Amino acid sequence: MINTHGIHPGTARPLGGDRYTSRAFMEAEWDNVWTKSWLITIRADQIPEPGDFMLEEIGRESILIVRQDDGGIKALYNVCQHRGNRLVIEPEGSMPSFTCPYHSWRFELDGRCSYAQDPEDFPGGDPCAHASLADIPCEQFSGFVWINMDPACASLRESLGPIWDAWSVYPLENMTRVQATSVRMPCNWKLLLDNFHETYHLPTAHPEGIEYAEDSYLETHIELYENGHALGQTKCCLPAHRLPAHKNRLTEPVASDLERWDLDPQAFRGRERDPREAVQRQKRALYAERGLHHYARLSDAQLTDVFHYTLFPNFATSLNADGMLFLRAMPHPTDPEHCIFDSWYYNFGDMSWHKSLVTLDGEQARKPVEREIIDYGDKSLGVVLDGDAWVMAGQQKALYSRGYRGAILANQERRITQYHAMIDRYIAGYRPPANSRSAA
Ligand code: FES
Ligand SMILES: [Fe+2]
């Protein structure tokens, strides 16, 4: 962990609007950040059988992720080695091998070329001998497949540092995706991450949220890690201090949580700061009979609070005792003013009884869903993420203004400071130290 107070180790320049609008800056990020970082991709259980594959589109690259005959997983650039045609078109499926739709060169699941038409006509002999697909470092962790387009990268574990162990208490290997929306956003991808790096916007953009979560920076625990990652812990089951005096009593979401755990809200009148610890104790008492066995590994704080991790450069996740909110930004291939915002929600096991954390009823909370891709504004993402998306789209328009002189950041926004400093360090050549590479 590194010092947490207002640090800005890599750059002294203000965060100007050009970071979000400039094509030159976007190219520098592509060459030095996107293609040099570990990126979270699909769930391993989305491709269970040999030959099962999925494509992950990352900016201008298409990555083919394939289950191997030996049970492993490989990531390959989705480009035919004959003349550069896109090899696989379908976003997912199952194939014994991959045949290019242009001249029928064939590639095996591990990327080896196994057939080229008229091999005797090539001056160097059968081209398959030196035409395998280009592969990409690929690891599995927390049930997800992670890739890094830098062949010299540090291992994922080295890159994640303490996050690797911190996540081990959550049952991330066994989750059900119950929400999966991808939004084509009219903003730069970093505006998503800026937003996910601070809770300063909560009272304004999410007034409903502070009825359940204490946003005060004095009570928010922030940790900054090596390599640009961070944690923000928000106390929940606790109405915010900043709520008006007439509202600073037992709020409806807190009362619901108490009832869900067989506690009487009336007993907490006049004791509005007490439900958080009471719910923690009650969860300890009742988790086994409710089948929530993973609670045994969680700390008291993890039983009630949101542990919000941001992983450099494009991923944020809110982990609570019962599930994972997955928030990912993906770049547009060429346009710095557009990106894809992936918003998934995963439940840990059967959460059909659970109603507080996502806007789902009991039936929906059980049902696995396929990914849906929409344009910004097409439909609601739920009240919380709608608030975020609305400010991101508006901010992108204003960042062009000659009247904007660069960000003025509070200490509680220091995760943003670290994040942009790390982008600048990557552009200047920094890479996480690679002591070893662990195999997938
Ligand atoms: S480009 Fe793929 S076989 Fe020719
Ligand atoms: Fe938000």
Tell me the mean pLDDT in the region 82-104: 98
**Which of 90, 109, 143 is a domain's end point?**
143
Mutate to test the pocket of ligand 1, among 81, 85, 113 (most ligand atoms within 8 A of CB): 85
pLDDT at 60 over 80: yes
Tell me the mean pLDDT in the region 25-51: 98
Quote the tokens at residue 58.
């990352």
Looking at residue 56, what is its pLDDT? Answer: 98
CATH number for the domain spanning 45: value is 2.102.10.10
Looking at residue 124, what is its pLDDT? Answer: 92
| Ligand 1 pocket residue status of 117, Cβ below 6 Å | no
pLDDT at 297 over 50: yes
52, 175: one domain: no
pLDDT at 191 over 60: yes
359, 281: one domain: yes
pLDDT at 12 over 80: no
pLDDT at 360 over 80: no
Lowest mean pLDDT among 249-258, 354-363, 402-411: 354-363
Greater confidence (282 vs 354) lies with: 282
Count of domains for the chain = 2
pLDDT at 134 over 90: yes
378, 412: one domain: yes
| Ligand 1 pocket residue status of 238, Cβ below 6 Å | no
pLDDT at 334 over 80: yes
CA atoms within 13 A on the CB side of 35: 16
pLDDT at 9 over 70: no
Alpha helices in 239-331 (DSSP H): 252-260, 275-286, 300-304
| Ligand 1 pocket residue status of 113, Cβ below 6 Å | no
181, 137: one domain: no
Q: Where in the sequence is the domain holding 94, given as residue range(s)?
A: 41-143
Predicted model pTM: 0.93
With cut-offs at 50, 70 and 90, classify the pLDDT of residue 367.
Answer: confident
188, 291: one domain: yes
Looking at residue 345, what is its pLDDT? Answer: 92
**Which of 143, 158, 183 is a domain's end point?**
143
Mean pLDDT score of the chain: 91
> Please, which contacts does 76-84 make with residues 24 or more away whose CB atoms are closer than 8 Å?
76/111, 76/133, 76/134, 76/135, 76/136, 77/133, 77/134, 77/135, 77/136, 79/133, 79/134, 80/105, 80/107, 81/105, 81/107, 81/113, 81/127, 81/131, 81/132, 81/133, 82/116, 82/127, 82/131
With cut-offs at 50, 70 and 90, classify the pLDDT of residue 366.
Answer: low
Q: Which phi-psi region, left, alpha or beta, contains residue 247 (left: φ > 0; alpha: ψ -120 to 50)?
A: alpha
With cut-offs at 50, 70 and 90, classify the pLDDT of residue 48.
Answer: very high
Greater confidence (223 vs 380) lies with: 223
Looking at residue 363, what is its pLDDT? Answer: 54
Nearest residue CA, atom 1 of ligand 1?
83
Q: Is position 36 within any domain?
A: no
248, 335: one domain: yes
| Ligand 1 pocket residue status of 103, Cβ below 6 Å | yes
316, 411: one domain: yes
Q: What whole-number percentage of the chain has pLDDT above 90?
A: 80
- 203 DSSP assignment: H
Q: Is position 4 within any domain?
A: no
With cut-offs at 50, 70 and 90, classify the pLDDT of residue 2.
Answer: very low
- CA–centroid distance, 95 to ligand 2, in Å, is 41
Tell me the mean pLDDT in the region 182-204: 97
Tell me the mean pLDDT in the region 256-262: 93
198, 342: one domain: yes
Q: Alpha-carbon distance 21 to 338, whole Å?
A: 10
Mutate to test the pocket of ligand 1, among 102, 106, 132 (most ligand atoms within 8 A of CB): 102
Tell me the mean pLDDT in the region 34-41: 98
pLDDT at 317 over 50: yes
Q: Is position 5 within any domain?
A: no
Looking at residue 7, what is its pLDDT? Answer: 37
Q: Alpha-carbon distance 60 to 416, whole Å?
A: 26
Greater confidence (70 vs 247) lies with: 70
86, 231: one domain: no
246, 332: one domain: yes
User: Of the ligands numbered here, which is closest to the C-alpha atom of 387?
Assistant: 2
pLDDT at 173 over 60: yes
CATH number for the domain spanning 173: value is 3.90.380
Specify the amino acid at residue 190.
K
First to last CA, the chain: 26
Tell me the mean pLDDT in the region 271-280: 94
241, 351: one domain: yes
User: Of the ligands numbered here, which is closest to the C-alpha atom of 210?
Assistant: 2
Mutate to test the pocket of ligand 1, among 97, 100, 106, 113 (most ligand atoms within 8 A of CB): 100
